[in-house]
Copies of this chain bind each other. A is one copy, B any other.
């Protein structure tokens, strides 16, 4: 048996999703049970980056969400309509849904989840926040045993890229935005990103899952980065801060709160001064990070690529895998395929001499000029290419020389070291370390 997948949209993420599904070798074995049945596109003639039989493509998206053979619909067309209607139609026809559409879920999540619960189907959205970073699943599962106190995210790659470049170059918002648009990091109409609207959609979704209730999007305070000036970034730097666009959802603890006060939340997006020592301060460029604070856990942070074909497709297919695992346990008397451990073979482990890495070695030597030459020769004889050789100082009247290699087979490096130990000028090799 297998599960039939209908994909709506064959843009960047749709292409990435199809690529993973068509090439399951070396991935979770359950992926072999997922088959692409039909793919809805806007035009049948467009050249595609992924090979699919022409018969699989259709411009009739409704035909996919009503197809009796399809088990799971993946909505990747984005925007509000027809995405919302297609999702609702898929649910009405008993399909599970996987979506990357933060705009639809943050606005119509209540309608969509009410319909899904009535039909007993799943609506999964790992790809809607943080691209490839697993954050929705951990919030639902591993972190759910905590009382969540706070979720703080850098969840918009475009604004983080702009702020990172403003910081690095001392440049103005307008100049960096124009360049980001030229390079494809910002859209022609950058409103959704730079005014914080995309981040607001995402924090509404995260808050809803973290705090277990629905969130009205218009109650999310939202301020973008248009008014962040190079001057403020420079002053913040002097005060040991960087400026980041943060999306925050946290418990509101009013000053006069008694134990009977019902829980209120703050949910907001705004540019924020972040102390340089804070883990979020070093999240740069288009990367995303989400920090979750819970009781009794403390703080954990998830970091990774917030967008891109492969990363977002990874999240989409992870949701498909989770649904398939549940469906399989419902129909067969087997343990849950993602929680049980079924492999029986032993992995082949390469002997350490065969492993390849860079090395750092420190030598104590007499007669430096001659030795540097000899080191170079003896390493070279064993095929070890050097990145740097530096005499770093003197210790006990001996010269201290530090060598860093390029990537080299460990066995070759050790042979070279053995040769070098024979040199009369070498007094000691006090340390040998690997370099990542």
B211 close to A315 (CB less than 8 A)? no
* Copies, count: 2
Say how far A307's CB is from chain B's closest CB, in angstroms. 11
A11 within 8 A of B: no
The CA of A436 and the CA of B433, in the complex, are separated in Å by 39
Q: Which of A45-53, A141-149, A368-376, A413-421 lies on the face that meets chain B?
A: A141-149
A200 within 8 A of B: no
B298 close to A402 (CB less than 8 A)? no
Say how far A342's CB is from chain B's closest CB, in angstroms. 7
A116 within 8 A of B: yes
Say how far A238's CB is from chain B's closest CB, in angstroms. 7
A140 close to B338 (CB less than 8 A)? yes
B301 close to A297 (CB less than 8 A)? no
Q: Which residues of B contact A274 (CB under 8 A)?
A: 436
A271 close to B340 (CB less than 8 A)? no
A227 within 8 A of B: yes
Q: Which residues of B contact A239 (CB under 8 A)?
A: 360, 388, 402, 404
Q: Which of A25-33, A58-66, A79-87 lies on the face that meets chain B?
A: A25-33
From B124, B347, B402, contact of A211 by CB (8 A): B347
A156 within 8 A of B: no
B147 close to A27 (CB less than 8 A)? yes
B303 close to A298 (CB less than 8 A)? no
A346 close to B221 (CB less than 8 A)? no
Q: Which of A1-9, A180-188, A189-197, A349-357 lies on the face that meets chain B?
A: A349-357
Q: Can you list, as one digit per residue, whether each of A306-323 has a CB less than 8 Å from chain B (1) or not (0)?
A: 001111011101101111
Of A313, A342, A350, the most chain B CB neighbours within 10 A belong to: A350
From B323, B339, B346, contact of A322 by CB (8 A): B339
A355 close to B266 (CB less than 8 A)? yes
The CA of A119 and the CA of B336, in the complex, are separated in Å by 14
Say how far A298's CB is from chain B's closest CB, in angstroms. 5
A116 close to B341 (CB less than 8 A)? yes
Of A209, A211, A266, A362, the most chain B CB neighbours within 10 A belong to: A266
Q: Lowest 9 A-B CB distances belong to which pairs?
A: A296-B310, A300-B304, A134-B142, A213-B347, A28-B144, A252-B350, A219-B349, A142-B318, A145-B317
